[in-house]
Amino acid sequence: MSCGGALSAGPGSRIVPPVRTPRVLLAALSVGAAAALAGCGADPYPGVPDEGTVHAVFVSEMNGFDPVRSSEEIRSLCVLNTYDALYEYDYLRRPYALRPCLAAAMPEVSADGLVWRIPMKRGATYVDDPCFVATGGKGREATAHDVVFDLLRLMDPTTPTEGSWVLEGKVVGLDAFTKAAGEKPPDAARAAYTAADGYPEVAGLRAVDDHTVEIRLTQPYPQLLWVLAMPYTSVYPPEAVAFYGEEFLNHAVGTGPYRVAQYRPSQRLVLERRTGYRDDRYPDEAAGAEPAGFPQVRGRPLPLNERVVATVIKEDQPSWLYFESGYADRLGIPKDSYDTVIDDKTKELRPKYRDRGVRLWREPSMEVIYDAFNMKHPVVGPGEKARAIRRAVSLATNYAWAIQHLYNDRVEDMQGPIPRGCEEYDDAYRNPWKPQPGETRAQALDRARAELAKVGLRDPKDIPELVVDVLDSATDDDHFLAWQRDCRDVGIRLKPYKTTWQGMNARVLAGEAMVYGQAWMADYPDAQNFLQLFYGPNIPSPNGSAYQNAAYDALYERWAFQPPSAERTEAFRRLQRTVVDEDCVWVVRYRRVTWYLQQPWVAGWHPQEISSKWFKYMHVDAAQRRATLAQWNAPRPTLLLVGLGAFLVLAGATVVRGSRRTRGW
């Protein structure tokens, strides 16, 4: 899943120009919020029961609960915590592993890997909902027939599906179904795909009985197990689609632990523990760092709380004030608050927060951050001169400086596209076009110049200027200027092409971008999910580099969908060496390490970067929280006056600054 600085609008969305608030006004508003929270001891959750309530923060507004549209982060989070899929991530296992969810056991797979039989749990019921007309609103049992319908709807191009790629070309008869479905008029309330309506039978997807799903594949596809834990393949009843039609997006009718009690997309989501939830337990074992309070929560029925209140707070400073005042139970450390909470020398919590009992977690993302070269562009693509330029740019990049000064040491260096946590990751592998252990920057720059000299590029005037797509933000400007300075050390000039996230993606798809930066976050923890980014038939997406290598494609096709083995591991590592050592398709940079803070009254929670299904595992000691909040947020009139004074000064500065800008036109 490609990641960037903005969220894409879903099908049918109306895109409008953003309303930009001046930074000084945001500062004023933040100070005002600080005064309200810290000075007045105000409760931001009036009327919400404290006992058994988890308080979470969403960084963007919500976009509904339809599983087939769950490519965006917050929507995926909403889906995963209200629906169940056949499988789910084993919450505390590292490396990542799956466990049965609605499935009763792991799949029975034929010797040739082509036939999967999945037994389903009995008695797992949907949340009560008016869509169940036949039972007077009482939720019925989830069945294998629902799974078949849901997977067909995922592959129906007349739905707003964003996840059809997970099964495309993989299931016997499914592509023919997709083609036929695409010729039908859209029907948001379609609750069945029948032969009478002109839909072909899909021989590779059937309900053997009410509690057994059978999937027949066109080729081995071991990644299918991960796919069956993704939000796209969540299980829901056809009745809900028929009943709500277009509005199904805004109604979560799942088998998960919660029902939606309140949903205001730009403000707040309230989930309440549902009655009739199946027997589900907190893990008995922790592999690695134990969550706080683990002995008290292990083996307990889930969810560990009565409700979750998620508040939309888009700006970093207000979200930090919520946590600082105790009104958010966990939070990723905002960039601008890093120095406030983390000691620069020790990289640990400052005494104030350590003494409060706040816990710090560091969780690496399953991702790679990179700068891609357009392999079809005459300057950086074909030929030995272009290859030398790519290698020189990679060698000239000052990774260590950027880690410290641009990322606050919150990234890990990456040598290739296969991240740690994949079975094929090689800890001994070293990218030849990055500084080697013990190599100085001067030595790396000398190697970069030597690569250029080999192809006759000794004079900087002979090296064409490289155009880099740069998003229009202060942060992206900082990153570009640092890279521009790095490359200047070897005579390579970088020129920015200012654009938006959507604009850059459009240029990449059209083959117009010369050099651009992105991050790829894993859909599942398998190296194939990263190596597909270089597979020729995947041009232009997800192979935005337009890299095409017949030998690479042949080896990828041979091993991409084989089960894990020593042979597959060696083949995947060979593919990595091809795109890095030989062709240097990317400047391979880092993967992020998210730093999370957890309040002292929280038990059971553990960060999990590849799946956001964590609500049910979080327990809050409400009595401890109440006592602590009373201490932290005792009314402080002096601070209130200071805060209000600062607010008025900043607000006045905003008016003056705004008037000056107006006169400038």
Average pLDDT, the chain: 90
User: Tens of pLDDT along 104-115?
Assistant: 999 999 999 999
Between 645 and 431, the higher pLDDT residue: 431
Q: Long-range contacts for 277-285 (Cβ within 8 Å, ≥24 apart)?
A: 277/302, 277/303, 278/121, 278/123, 278/124, 278/125, 280/616, 282/91, 282/604, 282/617, 283/90, 283/91, 283/92, 283/93, 285/92
pLDDT for position 287 = 80
CATH number of the domain encompassing residue 96? 3.40.190.10
pLDDT for position 1 = 53
Token pair recorded at residue 257: 């632990």
527 vs 425: CA distance, rounded Å: 8
Residue 12 belongs to some domain of the structure: no
pLDDT for position 656 = 39
**Does 346 lie in the same domain as 210?**
no
Cβ atoms of residues 241 and 191 within 8 Å: yes
160 vs 156: CA distance, rounded Å: 8
**Does 212 lie in the same domain as 121?**
yes
Residues 6 or more apart in contact with residue 620 via CB below 8 angstroms: 52, 53, 54, 305, 329, 601, 602, 603
Cβ atoms of residues 82 and 254 within 8 Å: yes
487 vs 467: CA distance, rounded Å: 12
pLDDT for position 372 = 98
pLDDT for position 72 = 86
**Does 391 lie in the same domain as 532?**
yes
Residue 399 belongs to some domain of the structure: yes
Mean pLDDT, residues 302-317 taken together? 95
**Does 525 lie in the same domain as 466?**
yes
Is pLDDT of 30 > 50? no
333 vs 324: CA distance, rounded Å: 11
Number of domains in the chain: 4
**Does 511 lie in the same domain as 387?**
yes
Lowest mean pLDDT among 10-24, 202-216, 475-489: 10-24
**Does 230 lie in the same domain as 105?**
yes
pLDDT for position 14 = 28
Is pLDDT of 662 > 50? no
pLDDT for position 641 = 55
Residues 6 or more apart in contact with residue 134 via CB below 8 angstroms: none
Nearest-Å Rg of the Cα atoms of the chain is 26
Is pLDDT of 661 > 60? no
pLDDT for position 633 = 83
Instruction: For residue 649, give its domain range.
Output: 21-42+633-665
**Does 557 lie in the same domain as 410?**
yes
User: Tens of pLDDT along 138-190?
Assistant: 999 999 999 999 999 999 999 999 999 999 999 999 999 999 999 999 999 99
CATH number of the domain encompassing residue 296? 3.40.190
Token pair recorded at residue 584: 């240097």
Cβ atoms of residues 663 and 657 within 8 Å: no
**Does 54 lie in the same domain as 35?**
no
Between 342 and 644, the higher pLDDT residue: 342
**Does 149 lie in the same domain as 56?**
no
**Does 154 lie in the same domain as 76?**
yes
Mean pLDDT, residues 393-413 taken together? 95
Q: Which one-letter amino acid corresponds to residue 195?
A: A
User: Tens of pLDDT along 453-475?
Assistant: 999 999 999 999 999 999 999 99
CATH number of the domain encompassing residue 457? 3.10.105.10
